[in-house]
Amino acid sequence: HLARDDSAMSSYSDFKRRFEEREDIIWQEIFANNKDIIKIKKERFVLPNLKSIITSTIELSNRTGFRAMSLRDLSNDTGISMGALYSYIESKKRLMEMILGHVLRAVETTLGAEEVARLEPRPRLRWLLRNHVYLSEVMQPWFFFAYMEAKSFDRVGKRLAIENELRTEGLIASCIAAGAAAGVFRPVDALATAALIK
């Protein structure tokens, strides 16, 4: 969990270190959230291949585009046979949903933490913006995939990408609205301002 009090998360290096310390948890979470399609059940076998599949997908997509990337390309890049690949991802569509689902969970667990919601509006807004920039930096390839590839996604993928965007804007907007109600910020259109900030 990356949410901490304001002082503990004041530097990017702290944030990055905490993020890197929990990298194994990322793959465990993706595995846990996709057990319905991953046919291999032993975590020690699944996690290295899952990491390779998703990392390669993001890298290939960022180079050539997700639509242009084939599962054969992915098989060649990872060294995992086509048959084994299907044991992990079922389809290219499900692979996309795994990645987008994780981006949404990362935004939610990092920026939507309950202890952050309890901060006063000004420090909360500062915390949200700083940590959103930090999260965008450490997850840059994931965010690039989620937003720049959205045009090539199907309806479900586009909805997930939009949900990611709206979730962040909603957190910023609610903070701005709370600050305006408390007289800390000038009254503004909170949603429009959050969209501009984003």
The reported pLDDT for the residue numbered 116 is 84
At residue 107, φ and ψ (nearest 5 deg) are -65, -45
The reported pLDDT for the residue numbered 1 is 40
Sequence-distant (≥ 6) Cβ neighbours of residue 4 within 8 angstroms: 18
Give CA 15 to chain center in angstroms: 15
* Contact indicator for 197, 128 with CB cutoff of 8 Å: no
Distance, in Å, from the CA atom of 9 to the CA atom of 107, rounded to the nearest integer, reads 16
The reported pLDDT for the residue numbered 2 is 44
* Residue carrying the six token digits 């048959």: 83
The reported pLDDT for the residue numbered 3 is 46
* Residue carrying the six token digits 């420090």: 123
Count Cβ atoms within 10 A of the Cβ of residue 188 and give its class: 0-12 exposed, 13-18 middle, 19 or more buried.
Answer: middle
The reported pLDDT for the residue numbered 164 is 84
The reported pLDDT for the residue numbered 52 is 96
The reported pLDDT for the residue numbered 22 is 86
The reported pLDDT for the residue numbered 6 is 46
The reported pLDDT for the residue numbered 152 is 80
Q: What is the mean pLDDT of each run of 10 residues along the chain (198 residues)?
A: 47 90 89 91 89 95 90 95 92 90 88 85 94 93 87 84 88 95 95 93
3-state DSSP of 137-172: HHCHHHHHHHHHCHHHCCHHHHHHHHHHHHHHHHHH
The reported pLDDT for the residue numbered 10 is 61
- Of 89, 90, 17, give the one whose Cα is nearest residue 51: 89
- Of 3, 55, 6, give the one whose Cα is nearest residue 26: 55
